[in-house]
Amino acid sequence: MKSKDRKIIIGIVLIVLIVFAGIKIIGFQYSGIDKKAILTIKNITE
């Protein structure tokens, strides 16, 4: 169960990172929001 949950969490994190990478490429005008999002992702992953 724990290994399965870990795989699900890793999958969600990867999807979120891909989405934010796409947002970064599409809209640099939202750089302030991106920086906040990246900081929160770093805090979650660490």
Q: Are 9 and 34 in contact (CB under 8 A)?
A: no
* Domain residue extents for the chain: 2-45
Q: What is the pLDDT of residue 41?
A: 76
Residue 16 class from Cβ within 10 Å (0-12 exposed, 13-18 middle, 19+ buried)?
middle
pTM reported for the whole predicted model: 0.44
Q: What is the pLDDT of residue 29?
A: 56
Residue 26 CB contacts under 8 Å (≥ 6 apart), including other chains: none
| Mean pLDDT split into 10-residue runs, the chain, 46 residues | 86 91 68 71 76
